[in-house]
Structure 1
């Protein structure tokens, strides 16, 4: 089950049911099942503290993914997303915060499916996967207007 929580920000993810179904479908296409997965929307300050406490990193980031799965091909974990970073990144990319949030949601799930982004090659492959997943989400979301 995919759940969405707010830690210290009043962020409201739109179309939660569709987003959950989309994420599960994408995981299945990667030969993974989704168990308990928590997305936690938080502030820059909160994610910085998580980064310091658990990863010994002293910098802001848009997402931190914790894999809690004890079984192969089962996704379980916690994904912290800084709403502040997502909004700032969206502004820099000249896209909506919602569009960037969808990319970050996919990014976290891709990490739990075993994809990395430490090298340029890994990051390029991750971006290609994100783009593919986002095209599929676009087909599921209601059209505006």
Structure 2
């Protein structure tokens, strides 16, 4: 299957953030990069390149239909370009979906965004959420990663 690629990877071990059809700039991006590197290291991944693309529901829905044949809204789609332990992929995140999730969960937008960001990274570390048991495992990993953020990265900067 051919996945969409933004071809923005110019150096090894890079993490980039960009917006497509939404006006969004990631808060605390420097700390988030360091946190994602720590998660990769903790999970045994060899970070090559991650490209996070923030977009609208419509944009992500079109990708979901075109590349995965799913007619549903989602908060994130992860496209791996290599297999674990190499961590290399594009991660598309709907800002609208994250905002709605945060409102429904009554949590801050930034907290839900970090959960979604690390959720995609965990998929690149071979974590899945297709079954209830797998979903429980990945949720626990997300919680562990968010705790790492709170303990070591939230006060940096």
Q: Would you say same fold, with TM above 0.5?
A: yes
Could you say what secondary structure the match of 1:137 adopts?
Answer: helix
- Which position in structure 2 is the counterpart of 1:52? 65
2:80/2:88 contact within 8 Å kept: yes
Q: Unpaired segments of 5 or more residues in structure 1?
A: none
Query: Conserved in 1, the CA contact under 8 Å of 2:84 and 2:125?
Result: no
Q: Does 1:94 align with 2:106?
A: yes
Distance across 2 between alignment mates of 1:58 and 1:127: 24
User: By how many angstroms is 1:141 displaced?
Assistant: 1.1
Q: 5+ residue gaps in structure 2?
A: 1-13
**Structure 1 moving runs of 4+ over 3 Å:** none
Secondary structure of 2:91's aligned partner: strand
User: Greater CA deviation, 104-113 or 132-141?
Assistant: 132-141
Partner of 1:5: 18
Task: Please give the alpha-carbon distance, in whole angstroms, between the structure 1 residues aligned to 2:61 and 2:137.
Answer: 27
Matched, 1:142 2:155: yes
* One of 134, 145, 151 as aligned partner of 1:133: 145
- Residue 96 of structure 1 and its aligned partner are, at CA, apart by 0.9
Give the structure-2-normalised TM-score: 0.88
- Residue 33 of structure 1, CA deviation: 1.5
**SS of residue matched to 2:79:** strand
* Count, aligned residues: 142
| TM-score normalized by the length of structure 1 | 0.95
Equivalent position of 2:42 in the other structure: 29
Give the match for residue 123 of structure 1.
135
In structure 2, C-alpha distance between the alignment counterparts of 1:88 and 1:25, rounded to whole Å: 28
